[in-house]
């Protein structure tokens, strides 16, 4: 337990942690109330139950990074559980010093990125899989089973699909670590029953608003994340809606809604399977080879080691094909970002280690030294190869840390510039997704006092945004809300508009579509030198002729 915690603290203190995507920073801002009237306690897709705790924590101590601390605690639990599994698996095969060295190398090439490139998606998948592995490795014991089910439930509350993915990914390793399907059955069946009960309960308690939000999210994912649907607008309103969705402008429900996705998007099977899928697979394959070559080499080494033994050989290769097929399926038909790819590769490697050092082989009478004995020359060559790979990956990690640190500084300065420019006025923000990437989960970022209305990103179609628009302007309709806020007769100082040229062009087009036109013009006197895409804009009624 001390080793993984020490490695974790060393990583966070020495390299830092940076959000992989803007989703985590957006979630933190929703739970803390930056993007809403007050801290949001419930979201349709994320952090069921956690939201109430986070909202209360942010209300009590708003300057603490509660969202990052929560995810760090859960990732720390997953880290400890995985290292407990590896320690128990390898202890009888390696001397203490060698075991520590192997665990340190595993952390460096297979686990460090989870802390450096932070994401709640990683946390959910890793916690789910690690919890099941920990319980399966200790069959017949009540405490590990309770810990495993509790960890699986904690991952499910973050997002059900993450818990399910982690559970499925570790099923082969769970059977091997338990010593057979019968010994693993109590853990697996308990997990299946728990997931089924949780899904059934969630379905019964789901509100119509949450159901509509999830339906929209599925369509948006097929368009923006999976590249499955292509726009085919039939009317000017459809063209306006598809243009908005391509810019992640999801808050205007009159033009961006489920009906639009059903009407103005088509699935072209021939194009998707003949062009999109191969292109996505080739691109992801290159990224995997570039970013995770140590893990791929480790998988090849374990496959070579297993090929020298005859036991379980057909099952081993079936599992290899299953993992490879899962990666291809995710990469080609869905998406395979690093926050999903590395957890799957981690569990694949743990599965292969369980095959090589399986309980069945130990019980067959093989000595621990015989199971891993290699010629001295081959061992020296392997040691040199490991050192070279670790050094190359270390250099790559340091370069990534440098890039992420520079991005964090630029984005932090941009947020500070916005906070200074708005001076407590209403802030209308669009196209800021990239600005929220690479922020630290262990810092709080502020846009200053006053309401913040965000027009882009998945959070823009959350129910909290409708409530905010109604509170600011008296209407939940986004376009009418923006018109009222930009009107000269609006009481109080004029809002601050921070937009990208693309989102500003779409808003101008939207205002022309129906109702009074509005004029959007950049204010060149105020600029964000740290970010080249966002600009301050002045929005006012179109001059009368």
Residue pLDDT, tens place only, 359-413: 445 544 444 444 455 566 766 777 888 888 989 999 999 999 999 999 999 999 9
What distance in Å separates the CA atoms of residue 335 and residue 222, rounded to the nearest whole number? 10
Region of 451 on the Ramachandran plot (φ > 0 left; ψ -120 to 50 alpha; else beta): beta
Any domain includes 517? yes
Any domain includes 435? yes
Any domain includes 484? yes
What distance in Å separates the CA atoms of residue 278 and residue 331, rounded to the nearest whole number? 9
Write down the number of H helices and E strands in the chain: 25, 9
Locate tokens 């009906």: which residue? 259
Q: Tell me which H or E stretch contains 7.
A: helix 2-14
Number of structural domains in the chain: 1
Nearest to 126 by CA among 118, 114, 135, 138: 114
- Checking if the pLDDT of 311 tops 90, the result is no
Which burial class, exposed, middle or buried, applies to 363 when counting CB atoms under 10 A from its CB (0-12, 13-18, 19+)?
exposed
- Strand pairing partners for 427? 452, 496
- Checking if the pLDDT of 18 tops 50, the result is yes
SS3 266: strand
Q: How confident is the model at residue 209 (pLDDT cuts 50, 70, 90)?
A: confident
Average pLDDT over every residue of 90-98: 90
Structure tokens at 118: 């932070």
- Strand pairing partners for 321? none
pTM of the model: 0.94
Any domain includes 270? no
Any domain includes 226? no
The reported pLDDT for the residue numbered 367 is: 44
N-to-C CA span, the chain: 74
The least confident of 152-166, 173-187, 401-415, 509-523 is: 509-523
The reported pLDDT for the residue numbered 530 is: 65
Contacts of 41 (CB under 8 A, 6+ apart): 31, 51, 52, 54, 55, 56
> Domain range holding 482?
405-541
Any domain includes 496? yes
What distance in Å separates the CA atoms of residue 302 and residue 316, rounded to the nearest whole number? 11
- Checking if the pLDDT of 532 tops 90, the result is no
CA 358 to the chain's CA centroid: 32
- Checking if the pLDDT of 441 tops 80, the result is yes
Structure tokens at 218: 């599925």
The least confident of 18-27, 69-78, 205-214 is: 205-214
pLDDT tens digit sequence for 313-365: 788 999 999 999 999 999 999 999 999 999 999 999 999 999 988 744 554 44
Average pLDDT over every residue of 42-52: 90
- Checking if the pLDDT of 287 tops 50, the result is yes
Q: How confident is the model at residue 492 (pLDDT cuts 50, 70, 90)?
A: confident
The reported pLDDT for the residue numbered 382 is: 74
The reported pLDDT for the residue numbered 210 is: 85
Locate tokens 């499955």: which residue? 228
Q: What percent of the chain has pLDDT over 70?
A: 94
The reported pLDDT for the residue numbered 457 is: 92
What distance in Å separates the CA atoms of residue 161 and residue 430, rounded to the nearest whole number? 29
Structure tokens at 522: 């950049």
- Strand pairing partners for 334? none
Q: How confident is the model at residue 545 (pLDDT cuts 50, 70, 90)?
A: low
The reported pLDDT for the residue numbered 488 is: 77
Nearest to 451 by CA among 465, 437, 463, 435: 465
Any domain includes 354? no
Q: Across all residues in the chain, what is the average pLDDT?
A: 91
Phi and psi, residue 499, nearest 5°: -135, 165
Any domain includes 438? yes
What distance in Å separates the CA atoms of residue 440 and residue 307, rounded to the nearest whole number? 44
Q: How confident is the model at residue 310 (pLDDT cuts 50, 70, 90)?
A: low
């Amino acid at each position: 337990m001390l080793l993984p915690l020490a490695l974790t603290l060393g990583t966070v203190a020495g390299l830092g942690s940076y959000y992989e995507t803007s989703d985590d920073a957006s979630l933190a801002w929703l739970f803390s109330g930056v993007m809403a009237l007050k801290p949001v306690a419930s979201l349709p897709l994320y952090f069921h139950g956690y939201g109430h705790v986070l909202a209360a924590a942010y209300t009590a101590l708003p300057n603490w990074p509660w969202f990052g601390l929560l995810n760090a605690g859960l990732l720390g639990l997953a880290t400890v559980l995985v290292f407990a599994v590896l320690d128990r698996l390898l202890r009888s095969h390696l001397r203490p010093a060698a075991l520590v060295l192997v665990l340190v190398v595993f952390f460096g090439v297979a686990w460090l990125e989870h802390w450096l490139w932070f994401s709640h998606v990683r946390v959910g998948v890793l916690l789910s899989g690690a919890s099941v592995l920990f319980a399966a490795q200790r069959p017949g014991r009540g405490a590990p089973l309770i810990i495993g089910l509790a960890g699986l439930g904690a991952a499910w509350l973050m997002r059900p699909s993450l818990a399910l993915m982690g559970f499925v990914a570790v099923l082969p390793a769970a059977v091997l670590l338990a010593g057979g399907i019968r010994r693993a059955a109590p853990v697996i069946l308990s997990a299946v029953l728990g997931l089924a009960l949780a899904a059934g309960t969630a379905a019964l308690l789901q509100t119509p608003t949450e159901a509509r939000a999830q339906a929209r999210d599925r369509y948006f994912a097929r368009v923006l994340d999976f590249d499955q649907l292509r726009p085919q607008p039939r009317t000017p309103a459809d063209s306006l809606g598809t243009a908005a969705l391509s810019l992640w402008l999801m808050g205007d429900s009159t033009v961006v809604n489920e009906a639009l996705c059903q009407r103005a998007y088509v699935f072209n099977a021939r194009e998707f399977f003949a062009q999109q899928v191969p292109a996505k697979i080739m691109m992801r394959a290159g990224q995997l080879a570039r970013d995770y070559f140590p893990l791929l080499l480790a998988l090849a080494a374990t496959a070579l080691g297993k090929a020298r033994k005859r036991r379980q050989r057909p099952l081993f290769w079936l599992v290899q094909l299953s993992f490879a097929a899962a990666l291809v399926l995710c990469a080609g038909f869905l998406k395979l970002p690093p926050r999903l790819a590395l957890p799957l590769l981690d569990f694949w490697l743990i599965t292969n280690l369980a095959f090589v050092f399986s309980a069945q082989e130990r019980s067959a009478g093989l000595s621990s030294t015989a199971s891993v004995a290699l010629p001295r020359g081959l061992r020296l060559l392997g040691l040199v190869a490991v050192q070279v790979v670790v050094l190359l990956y270390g250099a790559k990690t340091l370069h990534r840390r440098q890039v992420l640190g520079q991005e964090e500084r630029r984005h932090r300065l941009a947020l500070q510039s916005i906070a200074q420019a708005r001076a407590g006025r209403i802030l209308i923000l669009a196209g800021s997704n990239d600005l929220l990437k690479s922020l630290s989960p262990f810092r709080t970022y502020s846009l200053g006092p006053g309401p913040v209305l965000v027009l882009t990103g998945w959070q823009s179609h959350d129910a909290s945004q409708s409530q905010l628009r109604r509170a600011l302007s008296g209407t939940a309709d986004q376009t009418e809300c923006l018109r009222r806020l930009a009107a000269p007769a609006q009481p109080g100082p004029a809002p601050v508009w921070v937009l990208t040229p693309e989102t500003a062009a779409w808003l101008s087009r939207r205002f022309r579509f129906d109702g009074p036109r509005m004029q959007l013009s950049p204010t060149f006197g105020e600029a964000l030198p740290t970010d080249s895409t966002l600009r301050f804009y002045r929005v006012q009624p179109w001059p009368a002729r």
